[in-house]
């Protein structure tokens, strides 16, 4: 295990939030067809409030800080927030569409010692990308920004969301990323909108297509190992946990709501009412999430994939139970290895079938 992996495990074991994802706004200048956010401002935290939250996160031991949104640069104070975060010595990663980043902004990001910039790009073809973002010339602007950032020596990652609208383009986009000397990552997860509208799920690619993605050697480091049938779980595996949500990671919304993860819409406290460490240590919701070991999972504890599955407890939660299966991950395990999951066998189906999902809501709406 790498030294960084060891420290991550140490944080996990000690229950220290080593990593936090903070959305500073849900506003955006793009209107991506697959986005689950409403893009309105329902009372974002002020500059002073976010700075106070950052102070608290540093005090709590947070090292890795992800700034995301919405589009982070929609906040006029964004650089002020990054500056404050860097003064507190966080390792900062920014997720952005980059259309508002020019040469000057790229220089400033470099000077601030930001670690990584992740930029959403959906195709190598401007017309496809712009049709997804619904912002004319967004491809051209994002590409220009990627070059400015790369030329500053920053680590840049192109992040693609695979959906029906761009499925045939991802090889070419991956090639473009390589030509530009930047990293490339791809994710096929599409979730319902915040208002519960599920029409966006029609953009999900058919599960069968995942087989091709998982068997792409350019995307998977060790394909043979990655696609191998799962090994029988040991007793130690059943003592383990699904992921780091609520153990060493959490998500904070622009309104100060704290959740176990950005994909786990279980409201666990609000930073306008409580201190971060009080929420982290005392929230019944976070404590419930961290109490669930693999052996407690209703279906997955008997699944041969339990140790190698990417089971997301947040997606399981939006499917109905945080202890239940996450069908999207059953799909991935099945199409990765060809071995049916316990969830599929239980349902007697030949391919995974999911239940409707419910999306993240602000804390106030759930009270």
| DSSP assignment letter at 186 | E
- When asked if residue 86 is in the footprint of other proteins (CB under 8 A), the reply is yes
Report the nearest approach of other proteins to the CB of residue 300 (Å): 30
| Contact with other proteins (CB under 8 A) among 26, 28, 30, 63 | 63
Q: How far is the CB of 63 from other proteins (least distance, A)?
A: 4
- Shortest distance in whole angstroms from residue 16 CB to other proteins: 6
DSSP label of 156:
E
Pairing label, strands 116-120, 91-96? parallel
Contact characters 40-59, other proteins, x per CB under 8 A: ------------------x-
- Burial of residue 231 (CB within 10 Å: 0-12, 13-18, 19+) is exposed
Residue whose CB is less far from other proteins, 58 or 205: 58
Helices in the chain by DSSP H: which ranges? 3-14, 47-60, 78-87, 103-111, 126-133, 138-151, 170-180, 208-214, 223-226, 235-239, 276-282, 284-291, 313-319, 327-337, 342-347, 363-366
Q: Which is nearer to other proteins, 14 or 365 (by Cβ)?
A: 14
**Count of residues of this chain found to bind other proteins when the rule CB under 8 A is applied:** 28
Closer residue to other proteins in complex, CB, 11/200:
11
Span from 80-88, 200-208, 278-286, 289-297 in contact with other proteins (CB under 8 A): 80-88
3-state secondary structure of 275: coil
Smallest distance from other proteins to CB 9, Å: 11
Dig out the tokens for 193 from the structure.
């909108």
Q: Which of residues 1-20 bind other proteins (CB under 8 A)?
A: 2-4, 7, 10-11, 14, 16, 18
- Residue span 104-143 as binding mask against other proteins, x where in contact by CB under 8 A, dash where not: -------xxxxxx---------------------------
Which residues make Cβ contacts (< 8 Å) with residue 302, sequence separation at least 6?
342
Distance of closest approach, residue 143 Cβ to other proteins, in angstroms: 23
Smallest distance, other proteins to C-beta of residue 264, A: 24
Subset of 156-195 contacting other proteins (CB under 8 A) = none
Closest CA to 219 of 230, 227, 207: 227
Cα angle 360, 365, 366 (rounded to 5 degrees) comes to 75
329 Cα distance to chain centroid: 14
Rounded to an integer, what distance in angstroms lies between the CA atom of residue 203 and that of residue 185? 19
CA angle at residue 23 from 25 to 151, to 5 degrees?
Answer: 95
- Applying CB under 8 A, among 26, 67, 73, 90 the residue interacting with other proteins is 90
- CB nearer other proteins, residue 86 or residue 125: 86
155 in contact with other proteins (CB under 8 A): yes
- Whole-number Cα distances in Å, 256 to 53, 170, 221, 244: 9, 35, 37, 20
Among 48, 104, 153, 350, binds other proteins (CB under 8 A): 153
Shortest reach from residue 85's CB to other proteins, in Å = 9
Site for other proteins, rule CB under 8 A = 2-4, 7, 10-11, 14, 16, 18, 58, 61-63, 83, 86-87, 89-92, 111-116, 153, 155
């Amino acid at each position: 295990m790498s030294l960084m992996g060891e420290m991550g495990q140490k944080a996990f074991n000690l229950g220290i939030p080593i990593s936090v994802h903070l959305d500073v706004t849900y506003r955006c200048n793009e209107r991506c067809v697959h986005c689950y956010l409403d893009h309105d401002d329902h009372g974002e935290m002020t500059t002073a409030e976010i700075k106070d939250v950052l102070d608290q996160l540093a005090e709590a031991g947070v090292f890795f800080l992800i700034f995301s949104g919405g589009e982070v640069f929609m906040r006029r104070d964004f650089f002020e927030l990054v500056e404050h975060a860097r003064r507190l010595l966080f390792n900062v990663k920014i997720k952005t569409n980059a259309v508002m980043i020019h040469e000057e902004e790229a220089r400033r990001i470099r000077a601030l010692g930001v670690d990584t910039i992740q930029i959403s790009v959906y195709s190598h073809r401007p017309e496809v990308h712009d049709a997804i973002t619904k912002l004319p010339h967004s491809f051209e602007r994002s590409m220009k920004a990627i070059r400015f950032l790369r030329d500053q020596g920053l680590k840049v990652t192109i992040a693609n969301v695979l959906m029906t609208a761009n499925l045939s383009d991802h090889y070419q986009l991956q090639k473009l990323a390589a030509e530009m000397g930047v990293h490339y990552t791809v994710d096929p997860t599409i979730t319902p909108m915040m208002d519960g509208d599920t029409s966006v799920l029609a953009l999900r690619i058919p599960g069968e297509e995942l087989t091709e993605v998982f068997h792409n050697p350019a995307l998977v480091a060790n394909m043979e190992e990655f696609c191998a049938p799962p090994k029988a779980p040991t007793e130690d595996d059943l003592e383990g946990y699904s992921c780091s949500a609520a153990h060493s990671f959490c998500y904070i919304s622009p309104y100060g709501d704290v959740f176990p993860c950005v994909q786990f819409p279980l409201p666990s406290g609000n930073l306008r009412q409580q201190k971060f460490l009080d929420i982290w240590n005392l929230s019944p919701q976070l404590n419930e999430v961290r109490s669930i070991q693999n052996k407690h999972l209703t279906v997955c504890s008997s699944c041969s994939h339990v140790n190698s599955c990417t089971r997301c407890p947040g997606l399981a939660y939006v499917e109905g139970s945080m202890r239940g299966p996450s069908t999207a991950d059953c799909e991935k395990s099945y199409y990765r290895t060809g071995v049916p999951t316990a969830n599929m066998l239980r349902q007697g189906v030949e391919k995974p079938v999911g239940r409707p999902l419910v999306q993240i809501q602000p804390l106030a709406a759930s009270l």
